[in-house]
Structures are given as structure tokens and as C-alpha cells.
Structure 1
């Protein structure tokens, strides 16, 4: 009897702490997700109080006839691959730089991380002004014609300025995570390898990189989710243009639901998007588990 009361007391304490969070999670995540799944099988326009059940029509239309969704999917995939590689590579290089014996390393850490605290909407507008006005004025006054190039107006190259701005804004966080991993490597291991005659490159590839695997996993998950969900940066920088060439999946879903008032189709797109992200994250999780030998 005493053991039962103890278990009930422990369950009550656990529920006291977990309960509010669980209620919020159900209210703000589970219920909206369930509602989205329901509406994806309807023709609801977001305005009428009634709607018609149309089954899988939204999904069939999505995969057979929606060129805008397919183009947005391709662009999002391209941007994600480029962004993940650039942010992780640059973040590691900057972490190695600011972990060195440079006198200015603390100042450099602040400089590199500062853009990360700026809102993506603000970042987008700042760089839009820089590309469209500042560079153009510099080009006309200095005679450097390449500066007058329409960086945000060419559908064939629009991916690169967006990836560059994203790199500038997000590399600081990746640097901090890698820096924490670097500072967690015991000095004794470095000294032992130095005594054995290991050079700088051997130390990097045989010791530093393998021990940075947890930091790499964290950065990989962060950059993957942020890249696939990119919305406000592109909305402020290009608005999805020119001619929809930089429209991400998140922007495509937003316009379908809130601009075209096709909530049924918009929620179907969001469900497909959500499943795609879940599949990608599960694949990453399994691969990283194998890398860690679990």
C-alpha cells in the first residue's frame, strides 16, 4: 500500500511538471496537425462555414498537375543542399580560426555570430537594398560593370545570392556549436599525438574531425530543418521571384492557402511537406546512428 501511494505521488509530481507542457503541445501541435489532415481532404476555401469532402483529389492534383509545387520542391531541395554544405563547411573553418591563438579571436567570435541574432526579415530587406541599390551605385560610379549585374533578377542564378545571404546569417550559430565541440576535446589527446609526431593535418583528420561528430550531427539537423523551412528570408529578399524561380515550399504553401484561398489544397501541400521532412530527418538519424556505432 505504501509503495502504491509512493508511485501515485511520483506520478502526480511528474504530471504537475509535464502536464502544462503536454496540454500546450496537444493544443498547439497535435490538434492543428489533425485539423490540417482533415482539411486536406476537402475543398474548403478558408472563408465558408461549409465544405465538401473530396477525398484524395487535392493530393492527386498536387502530384499530377501542380507545376508550381514541383518547381518549389526542386528549388527548396537545391537550396537545402547548397546551404547545408556551405554553412557546415564555413562554420567548421571559422570555429578552427577562432579557436586558435589569435589575439582578436574573441572579437572575431562576436563579429561572426552577430548576424545570427538579426531577424531574417530584416536580413532579407537589408541585403535586398544592398544588391539592388548599393552595388548598383558602386558599379555606376566606379565603372565596374559586374557590380551592376541584376543579382536578384536572374532566374538562373537566383539561388546563389540567397544561399550567400543565408550563409552570412546562419554560419555564426554553426561556428559556436563547432567551437564548443573543439573546446571539449581534451588537451591531453592533442599533446599525446604531438609527441607521437602527428602534424597539423594528421591532428585535424585523425582526432579533431572524429571527435566533432556530435557537433556535426547537431549542426546537420539544425541546418537541414532551417533550410527546408526557409520562408521569411526569401519572402523579404525576392518574394519568390523572379517569375517564381526562388519560391520555396513554405512560400508556395502560404500563397496557395492564404493568397489563393485554397485551404484544402494548401493543407495537402503542408502534409506532404511535413512527411518529406520527417522522412529526411529519419534517414539522417539512422545514418548518424551508424556513424556513431550504435
Structure 2
């Protein structure tokens, strides 16, 4: 099994000698939040979370990424929450990038180590604690679940990337693979969380344009990513928002693998709002 790394933010503050220019980009089609801006000055704190700080990477914005929020959380020893989710209609997904966390769900406690994943259906009673001696880092993706009459609600999922065989994309000789934490054929789930891996030199060989919104956090490596009409260099720790229908492609620049954690909304009708004349 190949070794894996999961980038975590370093925090701290930039030196007064650093240049003000950087790679951050915000457009009407996409945004890039580089790892260099994930510093102490932009952390947030959440109600009912102890000894925890948060980098908010994505939040619903009208006309942009409307379906989800994405937190990257640093949980100090003895930190965590007994009341993590304030919205009973929200589903969640956790992905541990560093350290270990104890997830209590339905009166059962499970340890999540790096690569660990949990899907939490709406209304789940869960808590999360760092019982170790070093900080832990976890991605938390939240979305309002879209219920469908006659369709059962999704099940809890707790697993680890190590337990899931990656699926090669056809006609790529295994150089482009996807590790799927949620079964893509199970229509009860209205979001998917995947890890996409490119070997050096592999690519998305066409410009994808589709309805799914994307949040991409680069776990490892570097690449040149096509976002709308621009080619943007990205590396481990960078985050990309892609609005629905934003054209995208990718070329993995090497020398190592390029891997990212991917969110997308799926499996539901488009919400239609009545037209109102001015």
C-alpha cells in the first residue's frame, strides 16, 4: 500500500518581511484559498466547541457555492464538543487529516485516525473529542439534507481510506483514481465525498462542465488546475471552490502524486423557484 500524507495547516503569523502579494483568487466562477493564508489571524471559534479553532474554507453565498460549508478544524488535547451540530436538518461528513479523534455516535465510541471518515445523517446525536496528547485536524463538511418523500434516509458511515480500494478511471491505466467514501449508486445520499488521486503526469484530459458544486482541498502534491478560463498552480493545503458549471481540468505536475478531498452535491432535482416579475 502506498504511503499517504494529509496536509494540515501550520497556523502562526506571517513575518513582517513577507511580500503582500499571494495566490489567493476570488472570481464569480471560482475561488482559490492558498495554504499561506490559513494563519492564526483568520481562525474562528464555534459555540459548544472546547479548545478548538476553525478555518472556514467555504460557506453558502448567494450566486456562488450555495449548498455547503467546509470547516478545517484544529482540536487541541481534551478539546471537542458534546453538541457539535446546531442545525437538526444538517448532514455532515468528517475526514481526519492529523492526530486521532474519538467519535461517539449512537452510544458507541470509535477512534478516527488519519484517513478516517464518518458520514453523519441529519438529526444524528454525535460528539467528538481529542483524547490524545497532540492536536488533531479534521475536515467537517456540512449540508442541509434534501429529503425526498418515499425515500429512506441515509445510514451512518464510518470507515478509513485504507479500507477502500480506489476505483481507476477508464482508459487511464490506473493513473487517475477515485476513492469513494459514499456509494455513488445509493440515491439516499445527496452529497459525495471522494479522494481523487493523480499520478505524476496524469490529467483530466478534457474541460469538465457540470451542475455539481465542488469544494477541493489539496491533501498532497501539486498540479496546474484549469478553473474557468484560467490555469492556476495549486499545492498541498490549497482550497478551491468551484461554482456550478465552472469549467475545470487538471494536470498533475509531479514529482509526487497529486491528491485532493472532493465534495459535490448529487442525486436531487434542481430546486425551482417561481419567477416573479419586477
Q: TM-score range by the shorter chain?
A: under 0.3
TM-score (norm 1): 0.22
**TM-score (norm: length of structure 2):** 0.23
| Higher CA-based Rg | 1
* More strand per residue: 2
Say which structure, 1 or 2, has more relative contact order (CA 8 Å, 6+ apart): 1
Q: Identify, as 1 or 2, the structure richer in helix.
A: 1
